[in-house]
Structures are given as structure tokens and as C-alpha cells.
Structure 1
Amino acid sequence: MKKSFLIVISSIFILTFVTVLWIINTYNQLVKLNENIKKQWGQVENVYQRRVDLIPNLVNTVKGSANFEKNTFNQIIEARAKATSISINRNDLNQNQISKFQQAQDHLNNTVNRLLLIVENYPNLKSTQNFYELQNQLEGTENRINVERNRFNEKVNNFNTYRNQFPKIGIASFFDQFKEKGYFQSQIESKNSPIIDFGK
């Protein structure tokens, strides 16, 4: 009787110990994947900030070299202000927050693209070295943004896949910081070519 009782107690102890180790390991892996997302979000913000910092230089270069419609400058200034006013808590990277951030950034991107398309009417400006360098930097920044957004989506995918597996989802659901994360998604408008109307 004592021997079978000890076997049962030992089995329960071992099972409890293994379960606790598994929970600790799962929690630590969730923390690691969550921190990777936060770090990558920092990179995304960094490249967006680079673009925001380049825009005043681009606008000033264009202003100085062309008789340009004031309306376009105002739109760029407003879009830049809106894009910089949206900030996201790294601990709450849900789909709604990501979509709001992306919408503001896409609006800024569209206004800058409009500026670059309108500049086509100013051949002297295109040959200006400062403008050429700024345009190249802006194009390079757009490429960096795309790369960092893709990396962010990979990190989110790793986290969400790990988190949503059974029975890990049970552990993740107990902790607020392990909510499912949001992705950057292509906007519906981005599938259409931009319409440039010089009459506005």
C-alpha cells in the first residue's frame, strides 16, 4: 500500500514539475517573441521618422526652385503633421492601432508622391543636385520602410503562430501583453494607380 501510494505521489510530483517547466518555457518564449516585435516596431518607426525628417528639406528645395502651387505645400505639411501625431503604444500593437498608423503614413506618402509627380513639369528642378539627392534618399527610405514592415510582419507572424497553438493559447490568454498582434496590410487604394489632377 505504501509503495503504490509513493508511486502515485511521485508521479503527481513529476507531472506537476514537468507541467510547471513547460509553462515557464512557454511564457519565456512568448516574452522573447513579444520583445522581438517591439524591437522591430522601433525599426519601423525609425524609417518612418527618417521619411518625415526628409520631407521639409524636399519641400524647401522644391519651393526654392519652382513657382509652385501653395496648396500642395499645405497638403504636405498637414499630412506630415498628422503622420507625426499618431503614436502607438508598443505594448498594444493590435490591428486597429496598426491600421490607424498605416492610414496616416499612407496619406503622407500619397501627398509626397503627388509632389514628385507635379515636379515633372519643372525640368530645371529635376536637374538640381540637391533635389536629385533628396529624391534618391526618399526613394531609399521608401524601400527601407517596405523592408522593415515586412520584417515586422514576419515577427508578428512568428508570435501569433506560436501564441495561437493549443495549449499555448491558454497560457497566453492569462497575460494581457500576449494578445494577438496586428499586421501591416496593403491598403485597398494602393492597388489603384494614383490620379493626378492639376485642376485642384
Structure 2
Amino acid sequence: MKKWMIPVGIIVVIIVIIFFWAMGVKNGAITKSQGVKESWGNVQTSYERRNALIGNLVKTVEGAANFEKGTLTAVTEARAKATSVTVDPSNITPEQLAQFNQAQSGVSSALSRLLVSVEAYPQLQSNQNFLKLQDELASTENEIRTSRTRFNETVKDYNNYVLKFPNSMFLGGYPEKPYFEASAGSDKAPDVNFNIK
């Protein structure tokens, strides 16, 4: 065996090892990026379920009582605005996430006003369909919170993977993804006013 073949063989082995390691890093980033997309899909599914329930809730309230039209209109408009905001999970930005969160906060606020207003309608409070929808909404809100938490956990895992050295040297095309943050003012307790006349 010729002496020059030993260094060439070592160099070839090192190149092959580096190639497979870099390929593993890239494939890992793809897997984690897909995990973020899946997790965001779960968040959207939870919000879609809430929007569908809100439509049924509004119809039940309209049918069961001569309810305040302004409250129902606010809920319907907030729901329409929330469904119009879309976020691409592969190119998610903090601005997109903030816009989505703001639209969803509008739905939550309008829905809270609707549920507080219901207190003035005893026949509606005893309506089984309404009570079932209220339970479904409470369950869905818990599902939304869980989905958002899991999304943030997935984003953390992704960000740690693509930002740590030496992976960051090979993953320049994989930008850091933003976390889902609470809406502005959500740290303050809501002012509930039962103004029943």
C-alpha cells in the first residue's frame, strides 16, 4: 500500500463523517420545523373549534331570548375578524403572531361580555342547549391554553436546536421562531359588572 493513500483515506473518512453529521443536523432541523407547523396547526384547530361553538352559541341566544343585538353583533364581528387572520407557520413572525393573538383576544372579550349579559335572562340560563354550549366553550378554552403551551414548548425545542453552536453554522436558513405570548393587559383581572336593571 502506498504511503500517500493513508492520509487521503483519512481525509475521505473525515469528509464522509462531516457530511453525514451535517446531513443529520439538517434533517433534525426539518423534523423540528415540521413539529412547529404541527403544533401551530393544533392551536388553529382549537381556535376553529371555539369559533364554531360561538356561532352555535349566538344562534341559541338569539332563539331563546330577545337579546341585546349590540352584544351579539360584537361577538359575530370579532369572530369574523379572528377567522380572517392567517399565519404561515413556516414563516411565522412576531408581528403575525401578535396580530393573530389580538384578533383572538377580541373574540374572548366579546364572548365574555355575552356570557355576562346572559345573567339577565333566567330562561336562557336554564336552556339545556345553552348550558351544554357553555360547557363546551369552557372545555375548548382549556384546549386552547394547552395547545398554546405545547406550541411554545415545540418552538423552544426548535429554537434551541437551530440557534446552538455548531448547528447554527449549518442552519442559516432556519430563523428563530417567535413564542405565543399573552395578550396585552391579560395580566390584569377583568372588570365584571353585572348591570341588571
The two structures have a TM-score, normalised by structure 2, of 0.92
- Identify the match of residue 193 of structure 1 among 180, 189, 195: 189
- Measured after TM superposition, the shift of residue 90 of structure 1 is 2.5
Give the aligned partner of residue 27 of structure 2: 28
Instruction: Encode CA deviations 1:59-91: one digit per residue, 9 max, x unaligned.
Output: 111122233221111111110110000111122
- 1:36-185 equivalent positions in 2, closer than 5 A: 36-173=35-172, 175=173, 178-185=174-181
- The AA in structure 1 aligned to 2:77 is E
The answer to whether the 8 Å contact 1:48/1:145 transfers is yes
- Measured after TM superposition, the shift of residue 188 of structure 1 is 2.8
Give the aligned partner of residue 12 of structure 2: 13
- Measured after TM superposition, the shift of residue 196 of structure 1 is 4.5
Q: Tell me the secondary structure at the aligned position of residue 179 of structure 1.
A: coil
Output the CA distance in 2 between the equivalents of 1:19 and 1:27: 12
Unaligned runs of 5+ in 1: none
Could you say which structure has the higher helix fraction?
1
The answer to whether the 8 Å contact 1:38/1:91 transfers is yes
- Measured after TM superposition, the shift of residue 109 of structure 1 is 1.0
Output the CA distance in 2 between the equivalents of 1:64 and 1:126: 13
Output the CA distance in 2 between the equivalents of 1:171 and 1:130: 56
Q: CA RMSD in A?
A: 1.7
Output the CA distance in 2 between the equivalents of 1:183 and 1:54: 26
Unaligned runs of 5+ in 2: none
Q: Tell me the secondary structure at the aligned position of residue 109 of structure 1.
A: helix
Q: Tell me the secondary structure at the aligned position of residue 193 of structure 1.
A: coil
Write out the 4+ residue segments of structure 1 that deviate beyond 3 Å after TM superposition. Answer: 196-199
- The AA in structure 2 aligned to 1:78 is E
The two structures have a TM-score, normalised by structure 1, of 0.91
Moved more, 142-151 or 67-76: 67-76
Output the CA distance in 2 between the equivalents of 1:43 and 1:185: 16
